[in-house]
Chains A and B, each alone.
Chain A
Amino acid sequence: MTKLSSTQIAWRAAQDIADGAYVNLGIGFPEMVAKFQPPGRQAIFHTENGILGFGEAPAAGAEDWDLINAGKKAVTLKPGTAFFHHADSFAMVRGGHLDVAILGAYQVAQNGDLANWSTGPKGVPAVGGAMDLVHGAKRVAVITEHVTKDGKPKLLDACTLPLTGVGCVTRVYTSLAVVDIQDGHFVLREKLPQISLDELQSLTGATLHLDGAVADLIVPEL
């Protein structure tokens, strides 16, 4: 089946970030979004461990381990970088100062509930800053495969995995579509032109509502 790669999903999410926006990218896959800012726009990236306005990863061997992101990966300084302690960092998060948080997901429900921190009671639980990020950023977006590795829907009527936050997600960028969450419903905004609406609905665990025309989801080869 035709679908977007992770890199392409990240590219699509990056197109909606305004110039000058303060942005937190979840650890792992969402970190890729930073690479695809449209020309002429520059977001300011926030990391939970106390840096605003950091730059890209350094060359191998040039790492400074006091200069890392929330994923414990080395980053670099840029003109205008600021450091602060953890309480200030999360004041930025919960206080409504971030414009966008882009996070990964195990499941998203049509009411905006997000499950992205635990796959159940087995193993060692770990939450990090995920539960804080979903409350406070002006816009909480998710980037994800449309279905799980074994083909089950990740967009559902209700999450079955432990929740990260209630009613917090407003937009989902998937490998097949762009879906908004409005008034407790999934509203389809864009889909890959190669896939029919019926096919997309069959891969989605709740009704996809329409609100005007559905645009083609067009992403460059990356």
Chain B
Amino acid sequence: MDKTLPDLAAAVAGIEDGMTVMIGGFGGSGAPIELIHALIDRFRATGHPKDLTVVNNNAGNGHVGLAALIEQGMVRKLICSFPRSADPRVFTELYLAGKIELELVPQGTLAERIRAGGAGIPAFYTPTSYGTDLAKGKPVEEFDGRPYVRERWLKADVALIKAETGDTLGNLTYRMAARNFAPLMAMAAARTVVQVSHLVAPGGIDPEAVITPGIFVQGVVEVPHPAQEEDLNRANAVYPEVAQ
């Protein structure tokens, strides 16, 4: 019943080579920096996991969080809408060298594919991308005189997300626009692990305020005062830190 995990290492255990991992966040807001760094620690200690397919809106910024995960060579393929940022060098260099695969998805289609994955809808039709390069090879159907493109659901083995307050049953609230993709990813992954800034007992969250119900969450780990990607980048942080 209690979904609390003892530490970050336990939170990222069980992520294996070749898995699809959804990572919450839009730029730095909502990025589960501590979970990502724990995954990097495991890779540096064991050589695993690698060959990951990562789903995120972006492709990391600077040398922390998602960018650091990519820089370690753990990511084989990225599914995202906007692989640019203030400092996108890590992804850009690997991509231009042909060392990382990119599936570019319009942002609303990415969100809806993830939602559909979590909601048991294997495909849907959207007007987005009709007549463009991103619709090439996809079935098109006309409804009420307008053409729509068929898109498939997107599911994951694991989702790593950040929430503001979580209870031990996995009920979650988020902080402002840090919510973004997290509630969708929580639904679409076989196993969703959440870093929460505040862990409370059941009853500690007003049921009216729950955004993600605990049924979508398998593990909760408390990380008080989480790092914010923008702050790390403004301090030119690099993960893991280079030994002096």
Q: Which of B85, B102, B115, B175 meets A66, CB within 8 Å?
A: B175
Q: Chain B contacts of A163 at CB under 8 A?
A: 131-133
B106 in the interface (beta carbon within 8 A): yes
Give Cα A118–Cα B121 distance, bound, in whole angstroms: 31
Q: Which of A65, A128, A131 meets B229, CB within 8 Å?
A: A65
Q: Which of A72, A118, A162, A164 has the most CB of B within 10 A?
A: A72
Give Cα A89–Cα B111 distance, bound, in whole angstroms: 9
User: Is B176 within 8 A of A126, CB to CB?
Assistant: no
Q: Chain B contacts of A164 at CB under 8 A?
A: 132
Q: Chain A contacts of B108 at CB under 8 A?
A: 48, 86, 89-90, 93-94, 129, 131-132
How does the 8 Å CB contact mask read for B199-237 relative to A, with 1 for contact and 0 for none? 000000000000100000000000000001111000000
**Given that A51-B177, A65-B231 are known contacts, is A124 also in contact with B84, CB under 8 Å in the complex?**
yes
Interface residues on B, range: 35 or more
User: Is B228 within 8 A of A65, CB to CB?
Assistant: yes
A149 in the interface (beta carbon within 8 A): no
Q: Chain A contacts of B88 at CB under 8 A?
A: 124
User: Is B131 within 8 A of A165, CB to CB?
Assistant: yes
Q: Which of A66, A84, A125 meets B104, CB within 8 Å?
A: A125
User: Is A86 within 8 A of B95, CB to CB?
Assistant: no
B153 in the interface (beta carbon within 8 A): no
Q: Chain B contacts of A47 at CB under 8 A?
A: 177
User: Is B92 within 8 A of A124, CB to CB?
Assistant: yes
Which chain A residue lies CB-closest to B25?
A49
The interface size of chain A toward B, counting residues with CB under 8 Å, comes to 40
Q: Which of B26, B28, B102, B112 meets A125, CB within 8 Å?
A: B102
How does the 8 Å CB contact mask read for A60-78 relative to B, with 1 for contact and 0 for none? 0001111110001000000
User: Is A85 within 8 A of B106, CB to CB?
Assistant: no
Q: Chain A contacts of B57 at CB under 8 A?
A: 86
B72 in the interface (beta carbon within 8 A): no
User: Is A132 within 8 A of B175, CB to CB?
Assistant: no
- Smallest Cβ distance from A196 to chain B, in angstroms? 36
**B94-143 CB contacts (< 8 Å) to partner A:** 95-96, 102, 104-112, 114-115, 126-134
Instruction: List 25 interface pairs A-B (beta carbons < 8 Å), by A numbering.
Output: A50-B177, A50-B180, A68-B26, A68-B27, A68-B29, A72-B26, A72-B85, A83-B179, A85-B111, A85-B181, A86-B26, A87-B114, A94-B108, A94-B127, A124-B102, A126-B82, A126-B84, A126-B104, A127-B105, A129-B108, A132-B107, A162-B132, A163-B132, A165-B130, A166-B130
Known pairs A72-B85, A85-B180, A166-B132. 9 more at Cβ < 8 A? A49-B180, A63-B230, A66-B176, A68-B177, A123-B96, A131-B108, A131-B129, A132-B107, A132-B108
